[in-house]
Amino acid sequence: MNEPAKSTNQLDALDLRSKLAAGEIAALQLVEACLARIAAREPTVQAWTSLDFEAVRAEAREKDRVRDEGKPLGPLHGLPVGLKDVIDTVDMPTENGCPLDAERKPDRDAVMVQRLKDAGAIVMGKTVTTELAFMYPGKTRNPHNPAHTPGGSSSGSAAAVADGMIPLAVGTQTGGSVIRPAAFCGVTGLKPSFGRIPRSGVLMQSHTLDTIGVFASTPRGAALLVDVLSGPDDGDPATQGEKPLRLLNAPMAKNDPPRFAFTKPPGWAKADAGMRTSLEGFCKSLGARVTAIDLPDLFEEAAAQRLVINLTEMAHHFDRYWTADKDKLGPQTRDAINQGQQILASAYLHALEWRKKLNASLTPVWAEYDAILCPAAPGPAPTGLHSTGSSLFNGLWTLCGTPAMTLPVMTAENGLPMGVQIVGAVGEDCALVQAAEWLWNWAGKPTLG
């Protein structure tokens, strides 16, 4: 395998933040390490759509000046962050992976981008997305083996973090677009509860499902980024009533180790035999901390109901592309929009009821367990670039709106990473991160590279 070598900029985001604040490294030094890595590996990985090396260097020099003058530093001061190219940025194009949006230049930053800048982050550039954040693949390759997919739709964000090009990145998930590429590329991916991070200025595919997520090398690095991005926004009704998260500094809910429920979700038989064996062995090694359970029967219908919502709302939000020139869209995108146009209103309204039904059925589970353990993907990243892989084990949790995280704690026989998915109750993001951090430490703090 062509394993990427570990580099300075691949250190945990919290370690980098401390070193930057203490003056042990300069923002420009970190940025130069990132740019050198990008220059060396981008021809193979192809994670980026927009980069401006000189603009990034100038921003890093400004961050160093602020620190040298003793001014207050934001929680992400000097940390490079990559943005999926469905997130509006005023100073670089946002093309949504779509030829119909080629050279599109937004007139304002997305709300989350402004929060990143206010926190002192350095926006490194835009990372590759599949077309309109759906299933038509982009150019990105898996950094562990370029003959394999990196997953999607947040392919560039996952690959860039996994390859050490940047320590942090932002993506989106409507089915499995954060958790799956994180698993395939071997990084930590965190999808918070639905509505935690505002979507104003982000391409909308499904207002019921679209969720902002993040990529990092460790659970705490992911938590750091979510803390900055979270909180209410008048432009996104899904965030009403939300408060900024404090995942990093939240007091431990309890002193005892977390209790995990291991479950085989619908479709378990379709998973790779090696993944099933590895995950069962991983859970068995946790001993009494894990109990095998069955999901409620309602979950057998979750995938079909999520798809009804996704396709119906996709047909609505993407009608402008269909009308402008549907023949310029990829076949997967065209087919999905066409299917969505045929769905009856009664079927769509019925599907919308399932989030409450599924979460209500999980109430007994959360009364006894802190988190659910299940596959992050059916196996390691598949060979070939014609598909981004299956979101079979992700979409049900996106429909529920629960927080979910994947940790790269397993390895397939072919050397590619595999992820364990950890799922928490809706709104219990702090408890999920605490359980993930415990599991990360228990597994020996796996490292990239």
The answer to whether 153 is a known catalytic residue is yes
β-pair partners for 271: none
Report the candidate in 306, 281, 274 with the shortest Cα–Cα distance to residue 382: 274
* Cβ–Cβ < 8 Å for 178, 215: yes
Residue 420, helix vs strand vs coil: strand
Using CA atoms, how far residue 78 sits from 125, 217, 230, 399, in Å, is: 14, 17, 19, 35
Q: What is the secondary structure of 67-79 as a DSSP string?
A: HHTT----TTTT-
The answer to whether 278 is a known catalytic residue is no
* Cβ–Cβ < 8 Å for 386, 137: yes
**Which uninterrupted H or E stretch holds 433?**
helix 429-442
* Cβ–Cβ < 8 Å for 181, 158: yes
Report the candidate in 244, 237, 287, 243 with the shortest Cα–Cα distance to residue 262: 287
**Residue from 7, 63, 126, 153 carrying the catalytic annotation:** 153
Pairwise CA distance, residues 447 & 425, whole Å: 28
Where are the strands (E) in 317-416, listed by range? 371-375, 404-411
Q: What is the secondary structure of 163-227 as a DSSP string?
A: TTS-SEEEEEESSSTTHHHHHHHTSEEEE-STTSS--TTB--S-TTT-EEEEEESSHHHHHHHHH
Using CA atoms, how far residue 367 sits from 264, 289, 374, in Å, is: 19, 15, 18
Rg for the chain, CA atoms, rounded: 20
Structure tokens given for 332: 């997967």
Pairing of strands 290-293, 260-263: parallel
Q: Which residues contact 260 (CB under 8 A, 6 or more apart)?
A: 283, 286, 289, 290, 291, 369, 370, 371, 372, 373, 422, 435, 439
* Cβ–Cβ < 8 Å for 257, 438: yes
Structure tokens given for 61: 């020099």
Using CA atoms, how far residue 441 sits from 183, 227, 446, in Å, is: 18, 21, 9
Pairwise CA distance, residues 281 & 302, whole Å: 27
Report the candidate in 257, 264, 253, 254 with the shortest Cα–Cα distance to residue 288: 257
**Residue from 63, 84, 126, 264 carrying the catalytic annotation:** 84
The answer to whether 264 is a known catalytic residue is no
**Residue from 177, 193, 217, 391 carrying the catalytic annotation:** 177
| DSSP 8-state code for residue 235 | T
Query: Would you please indicate which residues are annotated as catalytic (active-site) residues?
Result: 84, 153, 177
